[in-house]
Structure 1
Amino acid sequence: MKKTVFVLLITSFFVSCIPNKDLIYLQEKNTDKDAIEIKQEVSKPYRAQVNDMLSITIKAIDQKLVSMFTISSDQNQANSQQALYFNGYTVDDHGNIRVPVLGELNVLGYTMEEIRNTIEKKLLDDYFKTEANIFVTVKLAGLRYTINGEVGSPGTNVLYQDKVTIMEAIANSGDITLTGNRKEVQVIRKFPHGFETHYLDLTDAKTMDSPYFYVQPNDYIIVKPLKQKSWGTGTTGVQTITTVVSALTLVTTVILLSKNL
């Protein structure tokens, strides 16, 4: 009986506990720890897609001259997410945005810089001279992503940055829980031809070489649970031993009571 209990404890300990190597992000595997490795960014300029929200600002020496090209907004609400929804430029199903006076512009598949150049050229060709010093800024009105599963705060978040890594997105969502699978984080990304799914091993530093390491608007991130969560025996050695001992104590008590009846 003692041997059986001992074997059960040891087996539960090794099977149920989560190894430390499964919890550490971006590990440099099979490399010298003292070596310094410089990685080149592999992110490419983002290209506008359907349902993207763009923020477009047009400025000039005399701001009154360009006021007709901008959407008026309440200054008190200018920086709120709600204001961006109502005052931003949404890419419709045909890949167009509607800019006051300029009308519809097709931006599908264009980078933010290409859209800016298109607007500047149209303004200078049709409405202004070079002396007006037209200055156009085009940005994504927030980088929106949705994250679900084993994270501290699942849901939809918006980060006002040009580039966001999946590590930043996860950190902004409360980090992956102890029972979250860092080796198989699922990223569902929208493309003009449909959706594509990719899996990232966040415990491996080589993941930084993946184009999916950088979040894009409307990405859907899913962190699946480890098997240890469904087993319910605990995630640490102490928790596992406590659970197993409690179960054995219960079984022993039931057996003793049944013999006394």
Structure 2
Amino acid sequence: MKQFGCFVLVALFLTACQSYKKVPYLQDVEAVTQTEQQGKLFDATIMPKDLLTIVVSCENPEAAVPFNLSVATQASAALTVSTATTVQPVLQQYLVDNKGNVMFPVLGELHIGGLTKKQAEDLIVGKLKTYMKDAPIVTVRMVNYKISVIGEVTRPGTFTISNEKVNLLEALAMAGDMTVYGMRDNVKLIREDANGKQTIITLDMNKAETILSPYYYLQQNDIVYVTPNKTKARNSDVGTSTSLWFSATSILVSVASLLVTILR
């Protein structure tokens, strides 16, 4: 009997150890520190359907006016000439089409799809030198850079990234981290490329090597899905089965009561 009890304790201990190994993120850190890494910073590339702001400036502000279109807002349109209140004009936003092009004032159609912000800025600066005597300064920003986190996380949702750079751990942190039912070794990343092709990548957050993956940094419109474990699936089945059982029981009770009333 004592041997059986010891066997049960050992089995429970091994099970607990095995379960714990599935919980911590980024295990085997030594393997990453020993790996030779290339020090290259992530820089997002412009893709179709990106919404951009492009601001042109130079020493002579009047020379940059034709390249900075503004949009009238409801607040500014409602103001009359005699109104003393001033409203900051809203700059025109540019939607990148499916071919990676935008229509820019004076310069016309620009192909900037697949370029980083810095490359796009350099491209526009090169074209502006024909029209401006002073050295132009161009600033490109992505307005709709967002990612979504769904599945077994505390606060699933879509998040706008202001600095246009976010990694997988930061995305999970925005969603309140995984719940106890989330599978750390089965996180799905759904990504659509510039041609509209969707790819599903499986990432193991238990392994420290994940930070070296080309998918560790997220692109705009990426979707992160945290897969539920078997415990969550069983609990879901129990809840559904219990509801069905209670529904069936209540129906049977109602039928029995009706039969008793009729037979009387």
Task: Say whether the fold is shared (TM-score over 0.5).
Answer: yes
CA distance 1:115–1:94, shift in 2 (3 Å): same
Match for residue 181 of structure 2?
179
Match for residue 262 of structure 2?
none
CA distance 1:135–1:42, shift in 2 (3 Å): closer
Give the structure, 1 or 2, with the largest relative contact order (CA under 8 Å, sep 6 or more).
Answer: 1
**Aligned partner (choices 127, 135, 149) of residue 122 of structure 1:** 127
Q: Deviations over 1:68-113 (max 9, x none)?
A: 21132579x9xxxxxxx98422111221112222222111222222
Deviation at 1:148, TM superposition (A): 1.0
What amino acid is the match of 2:104? V
Distance in 2, matches of 1:230 and 1:15, equals 20
Deviation at 1:141, TM superposition (A): 2.3
Distance in 1, matches of 2:57 and 2:199, equals 39
Contact 2:102 2:110 in 1 (8 A): yes
Helix, strand or coil: the match of 1:183? strand
Match for residue 51 of structure 2?
53
Contact 1:46 1:216 in 2 (8 A): yes
Contact 1:16 1:228 in 2 (8 A): no
CA distance 1:143–1:21, shift in 2 (3 Å): farther
Match for residue 246 of structure 2?
none
Distance in 2, matches of 1:17 and 1:150, equals 22
Match for residue 98 of structure 1?
103
Match for residue 240 of structure 1?
none
What amino acid is the match of 1:92? D
What amino acid is the match of 1:67? V
CA distance 1:120–1:173, shift in 2 (3 Å): same
What amino acid is the match of 1:128? M
Larger Rg: 2
Match for residue 19 of structure 1?
19
Q: Deviations over 1:160-211 (max 9, x none)?
A: 1132111111101111111111111101111134111111111111001101
Please tell me whether residue 229 in structure 1 is matched to residue 232 in structure 2.
yes
Q: Deviations over 1:135-173 (max 9, x none)?
A: 111232253111110111112111111321111111011
Helix, strand or coil: the match of 1:213? coil
Q: Deviations over 1:202-257 (max 9, x none)?
A: 11110011010001001011111011112239xxxxxxxxxxxxxxxxxxxxxxxx
Contact 1:146 1:220 in 2 (8 A): yes
CA distance 1:201–1:229, shift in 2 (3 Å): same
CA distance 1:37–1:57, shift in 2 (3 Å): same
Q: How many corresponding residue pairs?
A: 218
Helix, strand or coil: the match of 1:25? coil
Distance in 2, matches of 1:38 and 1:165, equals 20
Q: TM-score, normalised by structure 1?
A: 0.71
Deviation at 1:11, TM superposition (A): 8.3
RMSD between aligned residues: 3.6
Distance in 2, matches of 1:88 and 1:28, equals 46
Match for residue 255 of structure 1?
none
Alignment gaps of 5+ in structure 2: 1-6, 76-89, 237-264
Helix, strand or coil: the match of 2:228? coil
Helix, strand or coil: the match of 1:181? strand
Match for residue 150 of structure 1?
152
Match for residue 192 of structure 1?
194
Distance in 2, matches of 1:71 and 1:100, equals 8
Q: TM-score, normalised by structure 2?
A: 0.70
Contact 2:54 2:141 in 1 (8 A): yes
Distance in 2, matches of 1:12 and 1:232, equals 21
Match for residue 61 of structure 2?
63
**Aligned partner (choices 136, 150, 169) of residue 167 of structure 1:** 169
Contact 2:148 2:224 in 1 (8 A): yes
What amino acid is the match of 1:28? D
